[in-house]
Amino acid sequence: MSKAIVFDLDGTLVDSAPDLMDSHNFVMRKHGYEPKPLSDIRFLAGRGASNMVLRSLNEAKKGFDPKLHKQMTDDFIKHYTDNLSKNSKEIKGVTEFLKWGQSQNISFAVCTNKLEYLAKKLLKEINLIHFFDFVAGVDTFEYKKPDPRHLTQILEIMDIEKHNTIMVGDSETDAETAKSAKINFVLVANGYTEKDKDNIHHDYFINDFDEMKGVIDKMRFLS
């Protein structure tokens, strides 16, 4: 019987915050705003360019201009598209786990609120794209996380039952998606979130992917 693991991308498979922050600060400087240290905005790294820019504009307290917000978001995406893998690195143990999972005939997919073409580009540039049977971005369907249909539509396309699926993510958005879909959820440590693990729903918790095989054994996922 087919098994699948569906992963979030930013903060789960890849520590992409450094490149996202570089693009954020490029846009801030271009439009006359102060740049920020990574620690101030890392938790927003998985929320998309628009939300990162909006948060900084609101904190600047200069009044909100929707045209400026759109221009800065467009500039962010353009800069990030050209620089998205300069400093991004996979989370510890990812490649080894994905190779092992393939040997166990587990299918893999990505469910991310990153634009689909950016998600695929990042996965390609860090040499992970070949592990995944399907990549769904924020613009792939008419809905996005935490709407559970973002996840369940992937499973329908892959023809995988929910009870044969695990979702892995790093934030409350991923947790809410999996919980609403009634799918087991594994939370990855040090995610892009302001909440600690005790305040995020999860069935299992891992510090990195070196621990993932042990979780699968506990779940009897391959039994």
Domain match, 42 and 124 both:
no
Ordered per-residue pLDDT tens for the chain, 223 residues? 699 999 999 999 999 999 999 999 999 999 999 888 888 778 777 777 888 888 888 887 777 788 999 999 999 999 999 999 999 999 999 999 999 999 999 999 999 999 999 999 999 999 999 999 999 999 999 999 999 999 999 999 999 999 999 999 999 999 999 999 999 999 999 999 989 999 999 999 999 999 999 999 999 999 8
Domain match, 47 and 21 both:
yes
Check which CATH number belongs to the domain holding 181 and give it: 3.40.50.1000
Contact at 8 Å (CB) between 183 and 201?
Answer: no
Q: Rounded distance, CA 110 to CA 94, Å?
A: 13
Residue among 89, 116, 110, 117 nearest 177 (CA): 110
Domain match, 170 and 94 both:
yes
Domain match, 79 and 157 both:
no
> ∠153-46-18 over CA atoms, to 5°?
140
Domain match, 25 and 8 both:
no
Domain tally, the chain: 2
Domain match, 126 and 171 both:
yes
Domain match, 183 and 100 both:
yes
- For 144, phi then psi, to 5°, come to -140, 165
Domain with 181 in it = 3-15+88-219
Residue among 158, 160, 218, 169 nearest 197 (CA): 169
Q: Rounded distance, CA 190 to CA 66, Å?
A: 32
pTM of the model: 0.94
Q: Which of 8, 15, 19, 170 is catalytic?
A: 8
Domain match, 121 and 44 both:
no
Domain match, 196 and 106 both:
yes
Residue 196 designated active-site = no
Q: Rounded distance, CA 5 to CA 13, Å?
A: 12
Contact at 8 Å (CB) between 167 and 178?
Answer: yes
pLDDT of residue 89: 95
6: β partners: 109, 167
Domain match, 108 and 76 both:
no
Biggest CA pair distance of the chain? 58
What is the per-residue pLDDT across 14-39, written as a single tens digit (0 to 9) for each? 999 999 999 999 999 999 998 888 88
Domain match, 70 and 98 both:
no
Q: Is the peptide bond before 18 cis (omega within 30 degrees of 0)?
A: no
pLDDT of residue 1: 65
Domain match, 21 and 11 both:
no
